Chain A
């Protein structure tokens, strides 16, 4: 079974002027890989308006709304590392890592578990911040 994050779903040092552009970048990687239709990206933007998906340490996990879940073709997670952080929410949190989620159930659970570990692991965070190799991002966030 192929992984949930593939190197084709990783973009390092993308430029984005604001949160919505960052979400679109993460969403378009999922669209390009055939995980979701283009309409899913609209759902991601709407979902973020509803409630911030900021999880800490400069990481956010945008995803579609509940009605969008039935449009997911196959599960996948994209990772966009921004060139410079963008302001993410009214609390003033800044995000540099945008992990776009597409799933119908819990196919991506291993990635979320890895992400939770990374949030408590400064060494892994530093590798994510500095690596120039998408394969290393996959190894850290999709270790299975």
Chain B
């Protein structure tokens, strides 16, 4: 069964990239901005390098290139993958689903 989490149970979104100083920061900013626009409050969004992902992370947004190593580290996390740092359809859907209180499934 695919992993999933209810929108209201998400407290943190960890955005993962390789080094964690470039693209993932752009994505963090983008998600924060979109959540604000959707009037969603109370969710922390921050980035992490792929090699330092907290093994207890519950909800991770990750570029598709790094999902393999992230899955190995954070075994119980729900992981949503994306391809573009900004304006990615998967990220736009994620924000809409959170705002709409839906259940989010791992991609």
Residues of A within 8 A of B (CB): 47, 50-51, 53, 55-56, 61-66, 68-69, 101, 103-106, 108-109, 112-113, 115-116, 119
Q: Which residues of A contact B66 (CB under 8 A)?
A: 51
Are the C-beta atoms of B21 and A108 separated by less than 8 Å? yes
Q: Which residues of A contact B84 (CB under 8 A)?
A: 56
Residues of B within 8 A of A (CB): 18-23, 25-26, 29-30, 33, 49-51, 63, 65-66, 84-87
For the complex, give the distance between the alpha carbons of A66 and B66 in Å: 13
Q: Say which residue of A55, A66, A69, A109 sits within 8 Å of B23 (CB atoms).
A: A55
Are the C-beta atoms of A63 and B19 separated by less than 8 Å? yes
A–B pairs, 15, beta carbons within 8 Å: A51-B63, A53-B22, A56-B86, A61-B26, A62-B22, A66-B18, A66-B20, A66-B49, A68-B19, A104-B21, A105-B21, A106-B21, A106-B25, A108-B21, A116-B33
